[in-house]
Structure 1
Amino acid sequence: MAAPPTDSFKDLQTNITETKAQSTTTNGNPQSRGPSPNRGASVPDNETKGDAYMSQKTWLSEQGIDKSKWVKLKKLSHMRYQHEDLNQITAFLRDFGMKVVKKTDTERWFGGYGPDQYVYYVREGPRKFLGGAFEVESHEELEKIVTTHKDRIQTNGIEEMSSAPGGGNLLTILDPEGFPLNFIHGQQPPPPKSMPDKLIVNDESTKPRQRQFQRFRPGPAAVHKLGHFGLVSDQFPTLKEWYTQNFNIVPSDMLYVEQPDGTRKEVAMFAHLDRGQDLVDHHTIFLSTLTPDSSIPEPHVHHCSFEVHDFDTQALGHQWLAEKGYRNVWGVGRHILGSQVFDYWWDTSKFMVEHYADGDLVNEDTVIGYEPAEHEGLAVWGPDVPAEFLH
């Protein structure tokens, strides 16, 4: 790891609210001034890293990763869960901003207004995490998984999703921790869907919104797409190596803790899909270490996260869920890593789900950050992070 690429972001990283500058009056008596106002800026990606960073190319070389052996993932498609009460989870997901695309007596598919047939699949049964689903580039990539990971396959080979909207093929394997991991290909795209209008916003110097008033209608925060999901494991080093060696998954940020001997132990990874120069979400998957004080003592899914239109949409969705009596976990606030505005909730089976807006985009030129794993570094603003979020 090297030194930060630039110091130009230091001022914004300083806690200027707590710093009081001293000045001297004409009569020689010291006098303090009030706290400086807060500041924000949209800063180039490679200027925001902490005390260390590394290029993706260097990291891949140091890890000994052969990109030709990767299974090429195109995007994150949908989440898969099992819930005991289909009616309860259906009511929640509708209030969360999804629509029922198709249902049977034992299965349901929920969609958003984005380019996917569906973003959430639920099967009736005891509470269970069934894994995230990635779309792969070709059918040959599915066959590559069958050959490379034949001892991990959970489906009957490559299965046809005959009842799912859009059809396609599905393959499920287990990762080294035992988490299900799904891959799909051949799904037909849905018809084009309408997009929300973009708000015109006035600031103190630019006033493009002239004789147009901001008006809103209460309701759920409509979901656009699935953005990411996270896993908590007691085999973090093994999972980090397995995911990055076998798939085009590359860190955006690595978190560490200081050891008594002065060394740094990696404990979490925010990772994106390597699509070359194409811009992708800052993280599509994150892996975190299971801590001894976790309220859930075994490896588990942490949460899955869905993109919404903008901050107002998110705030209205928060209000809607609160009025319906659902339980908020944490939010609304803004993260540091990924930058997105967040809002976390428990669903009716106590799986954590998130709304987010305004997330970062990266590509192969974005350097990998290396930061301390501290609770204070989770958010720029928002409520204090609750203990249950850190499970």
Structure 2
Amino acid sequence: MTTDTNTTGIRRIPLVRPAHIYYTHKNIDKAREFLLNFGFKETKRVGKSTYYEGTGPDPWVYCAREGDEDEFGGAAFLVESMDDLEYASKTLPDATKIYELTDAPGGGSCVTFKDPVDKFPFHLVFGQAFDHATALPERQYNYPMEKHRPGNATQKMEKGPAPVHKLGHFGMCVTDFARAFDFYTTRFNFTPSDLIHEPSGKDITVFLHLDRGAELVDHHCFFFYEGPKCHVHHSSYETHDFDTQLMGHHWLRRSGYENCWGVGRHIMGSQIFDYWFDPSRFIVEHYIDGDLVNNETPTNRSLAAPDNLHVWGPEVPDGFLE
């Protein structure tokens, strides 16, 4: 992408896509057990960090750290160049110098900065090695007027976790929506797919995608909404297809884990969702079939309402948006 500046002349840093995410768990053994049942694959342990990969090309998508408190450690996004990292290190709030991810699978260089409003960490990464991807079965489906499966053949499936493919998005509750919105849309190529407003007209929630020009990208990779106390809401991971998602749902139920909300179909983004509590009470989501957007997609604005989150599925659970 070409260098972009906003109306104030500040250079936007072009992000490519989400890369990975960090969580700290007091009970690392329970966390590790859950993550395997959720569909992550352990790829490396070093010190107090355990790295997990998905079926996509990323060397890892989730890092579980052992610590004294259950904490969200921020998400990382890929940038296009080392120059972007150098610029980020010099211009973003509380940014670190460039440091090497020497212990992480795939290596690479990183800059960590702090959200200017609520001080949660945010990471930018360049130079990781991408050397793997897992082939998954291509399932075909028979519809009333179109039969895609060959005759005399059955759908063979095995019970088990729903394999995670990639980190799709994460979301935060922030204490000052307007300041957060201004920062992320002027310093990066985040642009709103959906904005939700109060009856007064004040925007309180946004679903952001990355403006990559004509390239199609996920409807959102980052969202936030305003509330009294900053915290991570959930992180979300794409899985293979609807059968895989439902088999993973029942696998987690039989394994004794607590479903948060799902299975259902969202309105904004359209993805089929399934939210779970991990043992540390963080919410993680399996999703499939999300919308793709690009620079021809207009921003949609809608009024906040109880029925604008899903078109089918269980009712929104109490406390889900707190």
Instruction: Give the Cα–Cα distance (whole angstroms) in 1 for the partners of residues 155 and 128 of structure 2.
Output: 39
| Rg larger in structure | 1
Residue in 2 that maps onto 1:208: 148
Residue in 2 that maps onto 1:7: none
Residue in 1 that maps onto 2:137: 197
Which aligned pairs between 1:1-391 and structure 2 lie closer than 5 A?
Answer: 64=7, 69-125=11-67, 126-149=69-92, 151-153=93-95, 155=96, 157-176=97-116, 177-191=118-132, 193-209=133-149, 210-259=151-200, 264-290=201-227, 298-391=229-322
SS in structure 2 at match of 1:387: coil
SS in structure 2 at match of 1:81: strand
Alpha-carbon spacing, 1:287–1:65, altered in 2? closer, same or farther (3 Å): farther
Could you list the structure 1 runs, at least 4 aligned residues long, displaced by more than 6 angstroms after superposition.
none
Indicate if the aligned counterparts of 2:46 and 2:103 stay in contact, CA closer than 8 A.
no
Deviations 1:57-76 (A, max 9, x none): xxx99x8475x710111110
As a proportion of its length, which structure holds more helix?
1
SS in structure 1 at match of 2:202: strand
Deviations 1:328-358 (A, max 9, x none): 0000000000000000001111111000000
Instruction: Give the Cα–Cα distance (whole angstroms) in 1 for the partners of residues 148 and 186 of structure 2.
Output: 49
Instruction: Give the Cα–Cα distance (whole angstroms) in 2 for the partners of residues 167 and 233 of structure 1.
Output: 31
> How many matched pairs?
316
SS in structure 1 at match of 2:320: helix
State the one-letter code of the partner of 1:167.
Answer: G
Superposed displacement of residue 190, structure 1 = 2.4
Superposed displacement of residue 97, structure 1 = 0.2
Indicate if the aligned counterparts of 1:329 and 1:388 stay in contact, CA closer than 8 A.
no
State the one-letter code of the partner of 1:285.
Answer: F
State the one-letter code of the partner of 2:207.
Answer: F
Indicate if the aligned counterparts of 2:197 and 2:203 stay in contact, CA closer than 8 A.
yes
Instruction: Give the Cα–Cα distance (whole angstroms) in 1 for the partners of residues 146 and 86 of structure 2.
Output: 55
Indicate if the aligned counterparts of 2:162 and 2:244 stay in contact, CA closer than 8 A.
yes
Deviations 1:273-332 (A, max 9, x none): 110011100000001111xxxxxx521010000000111110000000001111100000
State the one-letter code of the partner of 1:117.
Answer: P
Question: Please, which runs of 5 or more residues in structure 2 have no aligned partner?
Answer: none
Instruction: Give the Cα–Cα distance (whole angstroms) in 2 for the partners of residues 108 and 351 of structure 1.
Output: 17
- In the superposition, the TM-score normalised over structure 1's length comes to 0.79
As a proportion of its length, which structure holds more strand?
2
State the one-letter code of the partner of 2:186.
Answer: Q
